[in-house]
Structure 1
């Protein structure tokens, strides 16, 4: 065991530790200030939404903006629509990417390399370049102004990344685990669902998060596909608070706070699986 003097010699000088913490706290404050500013705007009365005073919270806070947003505006309808679309995109993206990535990782077939390069090539172009051709395809299928058409649009743009993500994760899982399962009597599908998928939970979590975020905060595609106001998602609904001559900043700020809540909840829930999935199913007893 090292002597106390040797242990104390390894400690960092107190002034250096204090300086490092001060720098970190400074950058944390810079990151949190925009969030606190939005919170302050959402709590200010309607006659003083913007101010030159340096205050984290207003002197006379009010929840009028939240009340109006929840009970006088169709905010809950917009959130329901966004949840429906985001959930559909997440489930479809994870299901297709998990199977497609497995096929690219484990099977060798004619055209495999070309398909992989084609999928990767689509990531070189922004999604807005695909807006016109995908819109024409959805219009031909009669899916304009439907959640199904919007889901198809989002899934098609998110799948290239998701498939490559899952393919790379499957490559890290030894094929010998599947072979052992096959020897024990499992079919290929059983080996995939009982052995490979539990080990691939971290990759599935990343795929789910990416798919969810692709649909949750997207505006341009939704503005082209959805035309009925009753089908507006959150980005389209929040855009209605902005007019040519004025903007309802209180509602905007309150909506921004509430919109971030489902994202934080989803991330917290999936982060538990991300940590736990690293060790699940890796040891055969």
Structure 2
């Protein structure tokens, strides 16, 4: 009867020193500190990456003498929107309409042709398949400047100089080879067994493609679309050769009008125009990010 309290007290006695609990606690503190250090490092890298964008927007509100001053101005306290007014009154909307039209045509056409070609290369075996893949790679090795004269003569013969359709055709031809190569990897990464399982469940070949395969390919389509969008939106040299009339300029060509070798460059106007050009790109990325997140999971669940 007297042994029971002793046993009970022994069970309730605290753990002896040297147990592994303090070691686990110290390991947890070390991992937490490492995560905080990596987080601070990531924030620092993000600030360095975002500083040129901040400086562009900041300079767009400053007068010309403050921009060219040797003392930097980090906050436009006494700035104005005069540069934005000059930009909006100097043909910005006309160039914006031209760039948006060319970019949308390039985006839709490049994704359509590249997607069909990637499906054919990944899902079918046909004569000349390897040669076609090699040709796609070889085309990427040709410098774009080497084709300017032939492209100019071709569009001149078709009477498509200074036209949205002519420049869109060249952009599509430039973007499609690399887009095919990108999409081919995404299509090859989708197992055929998923389509076969959908066929067993009663879907037709078309229904299996649109309900199973296409949602899983959404990230690849988004990545390829981002590449096509940026190539068409920011391209300068080819547009400079083809669009040589002031009323048919794209946004990169229009931004060049604020610089002149015979007078002082309007740096505030350049910064304001660059900030406005970046707005459609930011909107596009915000829309694309949601579609990419939805595409990663929409085809992975059977409903």
What is the deviation of 1:240? 1.0
Is residue 87 of structure 1 aligned with residue 107 of structure 2?
no
Where 2:66 maps in the other structure, the secondary structure is coil
Query: Aligned partners of 2:137 and 2:158: how far apart in 1?
Result: 27
What is the deviation of 1:267? 1.0
What is the deviation of 1:175? 0.9
What is the deviation of 1:13? 8.5
Counterpart for residue 10 of structure 1: 28
Tell me the alpha carbon deviations over residues 47-85 of structure 1, each in whole angstroms, 9 at most, x when there is no partner. Answer: 433222233123411111012211x21111111111111
Query: Aligned partners of 2:94 and 2:163: how far apart in 1?
Result: 15
Q: Which runs of 5 or more structure 1 residues have no equivalent in the other structure?
A: none
Where 2:127 maps in the other structure, the secondary structure is coil
Query: Aligned partners of 2:112 and 2:78: how far apart in 1?
Result: 50
Counterpart for residue 233 of structure 1: 250
Where 1:278 maps in the other structure, the secondary structure is helix
Tell me the alpha carbon deviations over residues 190-244 of structure 1, each in whole angstroms, 9 at most, x when there is no partner. Answer: 4333322111000000111111101101111111111221221101100111101
Counterpart for residue 205 of structure 1: 222
| Larger deviation, residues 56-65 vs 251-260 | 56-65
Tell me the alpha carbon deviations over residues 162-195 of structure 1, each in whole angstroms, 9 at most, x when there is no partner. Answer: 1111111011111122223344555444433332
Give yes or no for contact 1:101–1:167 (8 Å, CA) kept in 2. Answer: yes
Aligned partner (choices 54, 65, 74) of residue 91 of structure 2: 74
Query: Aligned partners of 2:286 and 2:63: how far apart in 1?
Result: 33
Go from structure 1 to structure 2 and tell me whether the alpha carbon gap of 1:15 and 1:96 turns closer, same or farther (over 3 Å shift).
closer
Q: How does 1:46-195 map to 2 (within 5 A)?
A: 46-70=64-88, 72-184=89-201, 186-195=203-212
Q: How does 1:206-285 map to 2 (within 5 A)?
A: 206-245=223-262, 246-285=264-303
| Larger deviation, residues 118-127 vs 255-264 | 118-127
Tell me the alpha carbon deviations over residues 232-283 of structure 1, each in whole angstroms, 9 at most, x when there is no partner. Answer: 1101100111101221111100011111111111111101111221111223
Query: Aligned partners of 1:122 and 1:186: how far apart in 2?
Result: 39
Counterpart for residue 55 of structure 2: 37
What is the deviation of 1:128? 2.2
Decide which structure has the larger Cα Rg and report it.
2
Query: Aligned partners of 1:181 and 1:210: how far apart in 2?
Result: 32
Where 1:48 maps in the other structure, the secondary structure is helix
Go from structure 1 to structure 2 and tell me whether the alpha carbon gap of 1:133 and 1:7 turns closer, same or farther (over 3 Å shift).
farther
Query: Aligned partners of 1:34 and 1:127: how far apart in 2?
Result: 28
Query: Aligned partners of 2:238 and 2:280: how far apart in 1?
Result: 21
Give yes or no for contact 2:64–2:266 (8 Å, CA) kept in 1. Answer: no
Q: Which runs of 5 or more structure 2 residues have no equivalent in the other structure?
A: 1-19
Query: Aligned partners of 2:42 and 2:51: how far apart in 1?
Result: 14
Query: Aligned partners of 1:224 and 1:95: how far apart in 2?
Result: 27
Query: Aligned partners of 2:81 and 2:55: how far apart in 1?
Result: 15
Query: Aligned partners of 2:103 and 2:31: how far apart in 1?
Result: 50
